[in-house]
Amino acid sequence: MNSNPSSLKIKRYDLSDDKSLKAFSAADELILECSSELSSEDKSLGIYNDRFGYLSCHLAELNPLTVYTKKSQLNAITSNCKTNGLDFENYCDPLSPLANKVDLALLKVPKSLALFELHLQHISENSAKNVQVVIGFMTRHFSPKMIEIAGKYFETVEQSRAIKKARTATLSGKKKIEKVNLLDSLEFNNDIYQQYWGIFSAKHIDYATQYFLKHLKVDSEDQNILDLASGNGVIAKEILKKLPQSTFHLVDDSYLAVESAKLNISGENVHHYFENSLSNFKKHAFDLIVSNPPFHFEHEINIQIPIQLFKECFRCLKPGGSLQIVSNNHLNYSNQLKTIFPKVEIIAQNENFVVIKCVK
Ligand SMILES: C[S@@+](CC[C@H](N)C(=O)[O-])C[C@H]1O[C@@H](n2cnc3c(N)ncnc32)[C@H](O)[C@@H]1O
């Protein structure tokens, strides 16, 4: 086990080149430290929410199973393993059973506590009776709800003292839990949407999205349509009602979002992709691209990622095709978009949101 944190180089490998953003935090370092006391070669190890691969790389020699939720995460872990000369390919999605029951699970607590609980469910179903779980978080992100959720699955939840503003808790004494339905459902415009715990906007369709759906402009000439950052698929589904003959492509970085969208919109003319970029699409592939683009990434706000995606949209649009987005007013995307597209216009705006149309 390479538990010497300074000997490996871990990079973010995301679409952003902001050098001030780190690929791991004190919480990851503390989880690693804690795991060195608990892990051993004969224990089966599971790793959850390892965003850029800090834990998977440092513990690669123990042959862990890494449960991913994002394509960007898979890409980062694979790249970090490769650049550090590590041979590691044990991945599992968060809904499938693990190949082996784990004795020790390491979990960096995600921002979404619904996703935290989905992971605890998974651990509960895929672990040995006496499994131990080490969860880690920055103290500023602590919520008593974390302990409450952990207590639903484990008898004992023992918190460490804080080191470098991070803390861990060790969970043990697995409780017997009934298998639960991991889907929320919500109603919008006479349709019932299903979505896995932890994906964007759990209780209702996002208000920016609702505003977008009132104002975006579609045309019967829009044959090939991309819903970029598609979440549960609501934008594509609403356009499909107006343009049933068109072909729809839905792309999202989140595995659980893609699996949710598959439950909500399907058909021969509907295609789903678990991707965090448009690099697999050809130049001039689309007539129309629609998006409520991401700018929150766990506890960070980063508009470099949507801007990089807008550049890819330009490449993938046909000449004359349009990108239409909704955003919060304060993000001020118009100026950035004007450096990419020849024509950028605001087609609707209220006190919170703006809908922007860019023509190639
Ligand atoms: C603001 S939500 C919009 C979801 C959905 N379209 C809606 O309106 O409810 C943004 C979505 O972007 C996804 N996302 C984040 N980074 C991405 C990337 N690089 N490529 C594609 N999707 C991404 C997130 O998983 C999330 O589902």
- Asked if residue 165 and residue 27 are part of one domain, the reply reads yes
Nearest CA to 120 out of 143, 160, 150, 159 is that of 150
The number of folded domains in the chain is 2
* Mutation pick for ligand 1 pocket among 292, 323, 324, 353 (CB with most ligand atoms within 8 Å): 292
Query: pLDDT tens, 208-267?
Result: 999 999 999 999 999 999 999 999 999 999 999 999 999 999 999 999 999 999 999 999
- Asked if residue 226 and residue 127 are part of one domain, the reply reads no
**What is the token pair recorded at 119?**
């992971």
Mean pLDDT of 78-86: 94
Mean pLDDT of 324-331: 97
Q: What is the CATH number of the domain that holds 347?
A: 3.40.50.150
Q: How confident is the model at residue 178 (pLDDT cuts 50, 70, 90)?
A: confident
Nearest residue by C-alpha to atom 11 in ligand 1: 229
Instruction: Give the binding-site residues of ligand 1, using a 6 Å CB cut-off.
Output: 15, 72, 200-201, 206, 209, 229-231, 234-235, 251-254, 257, 276, 292, 294, 305
| Residue 216 within a domain | yes
- Asked if residue 209 and residue 299 are part of one domain, the reply reads yes
- Asked if residue 231 and residue 149 are part of one domain, the reply reads no
The alpha carbon of 241 and the centre of ligand 1 are apart by a number of angstroms equal to 21
Nearest residue by C-alpha to atom 6 in ligand 1: 230
Q: What is the pTM of this model?
A: 0.96
- Asked if residue 312 and residue 264 are part of one domain, the reply reads yes
pLDDT given for residue 6 in this prediction = 62
- Asked if residue 115 and residue 226 are part of one domain, the reply reads no
Query: pLDDT tens, 332-351?
Result: 999 999 999 999 999 999 99
The alpha carbon of 230 and the centre of ligand 1 are apart by a number of angstroms equal to 6
- Asked if residue 209 and residue 155 are part of one domain, the reply reads no
| Residue 75 within a domain | yes
**DSSP class per residue in 224-236:** EEEEET-TTSHHH
What residue numbers bound the domain in which 310 lies? Answer: 198-359
CA distances from 231 to 17, 140, 184, 201, 317 (A): 24, 28, 14, 9, 21
**What is the token pair recorded at 104?**
């020790």
What percentage of the chain has pLDDT greater than the value 90? 86
**What is the token pair recorded at 65?**
């199973």
Q: Rounded to an integer, what is the distance from CA 70 to the centroid of its chain? A: 5
The per-type count for the chain, helices as H runs and strands as E runs, is 10, 18
| Residue 104 within a domain | yes
